[in-house]
Copies of this chain bind each other. A is one copy, B any other.
């Protein structure tokens, strides 16, 4: 494998030059997914720099998610993201069925074993952001429903729903088991007419806690999806905050051209 040497005339610092060499080796195909990078000792030997310098170089690639270090074994080139498309979702299906039901339908098609856990339901004050989205007053409380979806035992998504307590109170929405059709069916039972949804999609690096819950390695971002459901009067009935394990999970939307 060709790595080159450090050019002291280059204005980039040595650690960055080393990182670029390694990245180029991956891009060239000298190193493919699963291959082991040269060990730290070998890089020190090759470049004639201190250990912290080669570690900083490798750290760059780890932060980019291109390699993953395994304690005691070595550092390996990672499979490029979104190779596995664990599940896709179609809008229509997603919103006709709710929660685990939609996930199960997808599972049948894609061939994984679906599971859901960590369902917690509580009622309490809302954060300013949720209050804003649900257009609530300062004192109004919300019902919070959180859960985690797994595919073949692997966590792929966490979701937290917020509903105004005034809407959910007295219904099965405040219970762990909402019954068939999920909370959307319950809302319709209660006379609310669901009209449309907005979804805001962004991405960010997960916190250590979120990384733990989704069993993510370093350098992998999560897709953040915030769905708000409105009734025919334009009143927001639910905000659902979803974190998706990005490399494993690709959303797929289908829309008409006009």
Q: Are B202 and A91 touching (Cβ within 8 A)?
A: no
Closest B residue by C-beta to A81:
B204
Q: Are A257 and B198 touching (Cβ within 8 A)?
A: no
Bound state CA distance, A255 and B92, in angstroms? 9
**Which B residues are in CB contact (< 8 Å) with A82?**
200, 202, 204, 224
How many chain A residues touch the partner (CB < 8 A)? 49
* Interface-facing stretch out of A40-48, A112-120, A147-155, A245-253: A245-253
How many copies of the chain does the oligomer comprise? 2
A sample of 4 more A-B contacts (CB under 8 A), given A223-B223, A229-B257, is: A81-B224, A82-B200, A201-B201, A221-B221
**Which B residues are in CB contact (< 8 Å) with A133?**
none
* Interface-facing stretch out of A102-110, A156-164, A168-176, A189-197: A189-197
Given the known inter-chain contacts A204-B65, A205-B65, please indicate yes or no for A254 contacting B198, CB distance below 8 A: yes
A130 shortest CB reach to chain B, Å: 14
Closest B residue by C-beta to A252:
B200
Closest B residue by C-beta to A231:
B257
A102 shortest CB reach to chain B, Å: 13
| Ranked 7 nearest A-B pairs via Cβ | A203-B203, A221-B221, A194-B257, A203-B246, A201-B251, A203-B221, A81-B204
**Which B residues are in CB contact (< 8 Å) with A198?**
252-254
Bound state CA distance, A68 and B197, in angstroms? 34
Q: Are A218 and B63 touching (Cβ within 8 A)?
A: yes
A-B contact pairs, 28 of them (CB 8 A): A20-B208, A64-B205, A65-B204, A65-B205, A81-B204, A81-B224, A82-B200, A82-B202, A82-B204, A88-B200, A92-B258, A196-B254, A197-B257, A198-B253, A199-B251, A199-B252, A199-B253, A200-B250, A201-B201, A201-B251, A202-B223, A202-B246, A202-B249, A202-B250, A202-B251, A203-B223, A204-B247, A205-B221
- Listed in ascending order, the chain A residues whose CB lies under 8 Å from chain B are 20, 23, 52, 60, 63-65, 81-82, 88, 91-92, 95-96, 194-208, 218-224, 229, 246-247, 249-258
Closest B residue by C-beta to A201:
B251
**Which B residues are in CB contact (< 8 Å) with A204?**
65, 81-82, 220-221, 246-247
Pick the residue among B218, B222, B250, B254 that contacts A201 (CB under 8 A): B250
Pick the residue among B63, B207, B222 that contacts A203 (CB under 8 A): B222
